[in-house]
Amino acid sequence: MSGQLEGQRVLVTQCTDYMGPPIAALFEAEGAEVIPSKGILRSDEQVRALVEDAGPLDIIAANLAIDPSGAKVGEIEDQGWSALFAAMVDPLMWLVRAAAPGMVERGAGKIVAVTSAAPLRGIPGVSGYCAARGAQNAFVRAAGLELAPANVQFNAIAQNYVSNAEYYPPEHVASERFQRHLKHNVPAGRIADPRETAELALFLASQRSNFIVGQVVPFAGGWVTTT
Amino acid sequence: MSGQLEGQRVLVTQCTDYMGPPIAALFEAEGAEVIPSKGILRSDEQVRALVEDAGPLDIIAANLAIDPSGAKVGEIEDQGWSALFAAMVDPLMWLVRAAAPGMVERGAGKIVAVTSAAPLRGIPGVSGYCAARGAQNAFVRAAGLELAPANVQFNAIAQNYVSNAEYYPPEHVASERFQRHLKHNVPAGRIADPRETAELALFLASQRSNFIVGQVVPFAGGWVTTT
Amino acid sequence: MSGQLEGQRVLVTQCTDYMGPPIAALFEAEGAEVIPSKGILRSDEQVRALVEDAGPLDIIAANLAIDPSGAKVGEIEDQGWSALFAAMVDPLMWLVRAAAPGMVERGAGKIVAVTSAAPLRGIPGVSGYCAARGAQNAFVRAAGLELAPANVQFNAIAQNYVSNAEYYPPEHVASERFQRHLKHNVPAGRIADPRETAELALFLASQRSNFIVGQVVPFAGGWVTTT
Amino acid sequence: MSGQLEGQRVLVTQCTDYMGPPIAALFEAEGAEVIPSKGILRSDEQVRALVEDAGPLDIIAANLAIDPSGAKVGEIEDQGWSALFAAMVDPLMWLVRAAAPGMVERGAGKIVAVTSAAPLRGIPGVSGYCAARGAQNAFVRAAGLELAPANVQFNAIAQNYVSNAEYYPPEHVASERFQRHLKHNVPAGRIADPRETAELALFLASQRSNFIVGQVVPFAGGWVTTT
């Protein structure tokens, strides 16, 4: 299989973090021209320049992540709380604000956000992270429905239990305790390889999923499913 | 019926806005001592002082609202976007951070947030509002599950189509166009009286709903329901 | 508090099973005239006669339950499978078919079904039970939206972890293993008293919840919440 | 792109109805050996024979459909009601009961059910259809979580507004009234081609989606999305 994204121009944000590397690799293998952006997006100006310099974009892989910064509700720190929204919520809006109008004008476009399944179930001890990811998911739903009539498909991958160095350090994953946790909490019985996220991102970025819009797809081995 | 909240001490935020007045009125009629707070909460310091001055609280009615500030995704303005999170998301965390530990220590407490059903379905043209309300809902879910073991119940009323001067000016409601819209979109065929929100808030604030935690209750005449 | 259902005529099905006794008791204490029906409803004829003999009904508490009859998918037995639908799904339709038109004609009515939260998350080993309860929940949603314009409110209580002799025998509840299970799976940390279900049923059967229609309310101590 | 299902043996039920033809065609084009089954499945014996004769199956496309048979709740007919469950719910269980144990034993398998999005929102006037489809969706969730640890992925496509002769006769689709309905209710602004369902079925049947289990994927152009 190859060439699903032949000639497509794709912006991949935080291309060296979180789900950036496997998405960039798979999309390139499928023929896309990947425009990489490194690091957390810090300002609207930065995003506008990025989008302008990139030229017309067919696809955006909005991969926005930061350390979840867990804290009990009584111990949430202002800085950690703000950092979550600054790194994950504001940049998602900046990207869509800067790039969606061009997609609408050209009558086609795909935006795939990698978010989290955490807010779908709620996880004690990381309510700030859940709130910020919940804001992303809600933004995808509303903006996705808004962009749908213009043939722009905007969806999210709400993942959990996908391997990555930031959230699941190898030694943690290898521990007996974590393996037991997996058996009890993740019906699939394992954590996913990040390339599996990339496959779902590819499906959502391809012309094969044009009827899926404004959707937050749970991707968590059964830890949470749609109801 | 009377006295369901006899002797309960209740903080009602933005007590003269949105759902503040009917909640304050009904809770007082049910025997509660209402500690009113006026206006949008602007800082953590303000919230800490408010909670400290209030003394031990049994119930918080976290009524946090601001003009929805609709805008197409390409036309979202930084100020409007930030104002939504500043007025609705940050204060909800401040309130819980300041007051929940005392509730946990006392082994009892109720927090009822009035949020919105908008993020549950997604509404084109108000993606910023949906994002902020989605953050609130996700925070309620996570923090609600966290506080549940300590016998503190934190839930949200996710409303839409509830009459209030800010969102539904009387002349708009009376228009033929809006009435037709209601028939097509709201199975109940009407907008609700804000006292109906207050009744749901009362149920969630009473000892009669102690097994409901971390829940975002759709309250929208069937415009959206749980799935 | 008293008299919320003063003069209301309420049919309570399977009045000596499951949630029947606490609902009948609380509704009577609130002034309702309870018309009790004993045992599983076996035929449309039986239901039609029941509804006809009852005279005009203001409220139906559709309490329909049967032993969950767990089985791995490869070992589901035809008889157990059919019994679930025969006891829980068909009678719910019969009741609504027989009684809703009269409510519609009178311009008012309340139907509260006691169903289950099991299908909201899915429970391995009881897929048949989940399917039947899922059918009930879906029926409530569709029929609830259909009846809403006529001022008839039809909702469901989707419960789990509510004490009852059939599903949670006392010796099972008392076991250390079950108590550990509760701590890990139910944020509220306990199973509910059936009177708590009755309180929610009362709220949904009262005039205080007229804007809630077609809704399946999770009632499970946080084991599942709306997303 | 080709060969995603090279050498895979796939049972496609009701292969000449509903989503059967496009799924069979696409799966064959991707290298699968399609074992076709025609018509509504009428008995467990028939299904057992079908599965036995087929030999080891890698994939089942559980395409089970029947005319929705709409009726107001007061006018539901016993025959129409029973026919919905007999054609859509029972056969899904029979298929899984007959085929899943072999998949579990072989340590791999895929089951993709084509169901409906109708029960996710609830549609007045077709409560029977919603109930039966809701039973299917709930069965997929529970059985899907049960089968997940054995590396068998069971998911559903909950579709609406997908073109097919049974539900959307061409003359109906072409009518101005229906086109206006689409603009108001389906953000994508169109009905989907059944080949789009087949593409989603292919993704769910391929090795590229192994971390998705027990999930009911809304596929409705934004008419409903996950919340």
- Cβ proximity of C59 and C113 under 8 Å: no
Within 10 angstroms of residue A179's Cβ, the number of other Cβ atoms is: 13
Count Cα neighbours of D70 within 13 Å in the Cβ-side half-sphere.
Answer: 9
Compute φ and ψ for C203, nearest 5 degrees.
-60, -45
Tell me the residues of C at the A interface, defined by beta carbons under 8 Å apart.
120-122, 124, 184, 187, 224-225, 227
Q: For residue range D80-124, what is the model confidence (pLDDT) as tens digits?
A: 999 999 999 999 999 999 999 999 999 999 999 999 999 999 999
Residues in chain B with CB shorter than 8 Å from the CB of A137 are 134, 138
| Spatial distance between the Cα atoms of B16 and B81, rounded to a whole number of angstroms | 23
Task: Show the 3-state SS of D73-97.
Answer: HHHCCHHHHHHHHHHHHHHHHHHHH
Residue at D219: amino acid letter: F
Q: Do D4 and A1 touch (CB under 8 A)?
A: yes
Name the pLDDT band for C2 (thresholds 50, 70, 90). Answer: confident
Q: Quote the pLDDT of residue B69.
A: 76
Task: Show the 3-state SS of A109-155.
Answer: EEEEEECCCHHHHCCCCEHHHHHHHHHHHHHHHHHHHHHHHHCEEEE
| Spatial distance between the Cα atoms of C213 and C147, rounded to a whole number of angstroms | 8
Burial code of C191-219, b = ≥16 C-beta within 10 A, e = fewer?
Answer: bbebbbbbbbbbbbbbebbbbbbbbbbbb
**First and final CA of chain D: distance in angstroms?**
33
> Which architecture, in CATH terms, is B9-164+193-219?
3-Layer(aba) Sandwich (3.40)
What the block records as the tokens of C73 is: 């998918």
| Spatial distance between the Cα atoms of A44 and A39, rounded to a whole number of angstroms | 14
Q: For residue range D186-217, what is the model confidence (pLDDT) as tens digits?
A: 999 999 999 999 999 999 999 999 999 999 99
| Spatial distance between the Cα atoms of C130 and C132, rounded to a whole number of angstroms | 6
| Spatial distance between the Cα atoms of A119 and A112, rounded to a whole number of angstroms | 18
**What is the arithmetic mean of pLDDT over B49-68?**
96
Q: Quote the pLDDT of residue D118.
A: 97
Q: Do A143 and B73 touch (CB under 8 A)?
A: yes
Residues in chain D with CB shorter than 8 Å from the CB of B224 are 227
Within 10 angstroms of residue B181's Cβ, the number of other Cβ atoms is: 12
Q: Quote the pLDDT of residue C165.
A: 81
For testing the chain A interface, which of B78, B81, B130 should be mutated: the one with the most A CBs within 10 Å?
Answer: B130
Burial code of A146-168, b = ≥16 C-beta within 10 A, e = fewer?
Answer: bbbbbbbbbbbbbbbbbbbeebe
Q: Quote the pLDDT of residue D1.
A: 52
* Reported ipTM: 0.97
Domain D9-219 has CATH 3.40.50.720: yes
In the predicted model, is pLDDT for residue B1 greater than 70? no
- Cβ proximity of B6 and B28 under 8 Å: no
In the predicted model, is pLDDT for residue C92 greater than 60? yes
Q: What is the DSSP letter of A88?
A: I
pTM over 0.80: yes
10-residue mean pLDDT series, chain A (227 residues): 89 97 98 98 98 98 92 97 98 98 98 97 97 98 98 98 88 92 96 97 98 98 88
Residues in chain C with CB shorter than 8 Å from the CB of A124 are 187
A135: nearest Cα among A88, A182, A95, A195? A88
- How far away is chain B from the Cα of A123, in angstroms, using its nearest Cα? 5
Sign of CA dihedral C192, C193, C194, C199: negative
B99: nearest Cα among B113, B117, B85, B84? B113
- How far away is chain A from the Cα of B28, in angstroms, using its nearest Cα? 28
Q: Quote the pLDDT of residue C169.
A: 86
Number of residues assigned to chain A: 227
| Spatial distance between the Cα atoms of C94 and A194, rounded to a whole number of angstroms | 50
Sheet holding A59-63, edge to edge: A33-36, A9-12, A59-63, A109-114, A152-159, A216-219
Sheet holding C33-36, edge to edge: C33-36, C9-12, C59-63, C109-116, C152-159, C216-219
- Cβ proximity of D92 and D113 under 8 Å: yes
Cβ-Cβ contacts under 8 Å for C200 (sequence gap 6 or more): B208, B209, B212, C157, C217, C219
Residue B211 CB-density burial (10 A; 0-12 exposed, 13-18 middle, 19+ buried): buried
**What is the arithmetic mean of pLDDT over C93-100?**
98
Partners of residue D113 on adjacent β-strands: D62, D156
**What is the arithmetic mean of pLDDT over D136-150?**
98
For testing the chain C interface, which of D133, D141, D152, D213 should be mutated: the one with the most C CBs within 10 Å?
Answer: D141
| Spatial distance between the Cα atoms of A67 and A1, rounded to a whole number of angstroms | 35
- How far away is chain A from the Cα of C15, in angstroms, using its nearest Cα? 30
Residues in chain A with CB shorter than 8 Å from the CB of B101 are 73-74
A211: nearest Cα among D26, D159, D123, D181? D159
- How far away is chain D from the Cα of C3, in angstroms, using its nearest Cα? 31
Q: Do C225 and A122 touch (CB under 8 A)?
A: yes
Q: Do D208 and A199 touch (CB under 8 A)?
A: yes
| Spatial distance between the Cα atoms of B49 and B64, rounded to a whole number of angstroms | 18
Q: For residue range B176-225, what is the model confidence (pLDDT) as tens digits?
A: 999 999 999 999 999 999 999 999 999 999 999 999 999 999 999 999 98
H helix runs in C7-117, sequence order: 20-29, 44-54, 78-84, 90-106
State what percent of residues in chain B have pLDDT above 70: 99
What the block records as the tokens of C71 is: 């089985």
Partners of residue B116 on adjacent β-strands: B159
**What is the arithmetic mean of pLDDT over C213-224?**
97
Residues in chain A with CB shorter than 8 Å from the CB of B121 are 141
Burial code of C74-85, b = ≥16 C-beta within 10 A, e = fewer?
Answer: bebeeebbebbb
Q: For residue range C182-217, what is the model confidence (pLDDT) as tens digits?
A: 999 999 999 999 999 999 999 999 999 999 999 999
Reduced to 3 states, what is the DSSP secondary structure of residue C209? helix
List the single residue in C2, C187, C209 with the smallest CB-CB distance to B149. C187
Residues in chain D with CB shorter than 8 Å from the CB of A219 are 211-212
Reduced to 3 states, what is the DSSP secondary structure of residue C11? strand
**What is the arithmetic mean of pLDDT over B75-81?**
97
Q: For residue range C97-124, what is the model confidence (pLDDT) as tens digits?
A: 999 999 999 999 999 999 999 999 999 9
Name the pLDDT band for B166 (thresholds 50, 70, 90). Answer: confident
Give strand ranges (E) for chain D. Answer: 9-12, 33-36, 59-63, 109-116, 152-159, 216-219
Count Cα neighbours of B70 within 13 Å in the Cβ-side half-sphere.
Answer: 9
A204: nearest Cα among A4, A33, A14? A4
Tell me the residues of C at the B interface, defined by beta carbons under 8 Å apart.
1-4, 141, 144-146, 148-149, 162, 187-189, 192, 196, 199-200, 203, 208-222, 225-227
Q: For residue range C142-170, what is the model confidence (pLDDT) as tens digits?
A: 999 999 999 999 999 999 999 988 788 88
A66: nearest Cα among A52, A56, A47, A80? A80
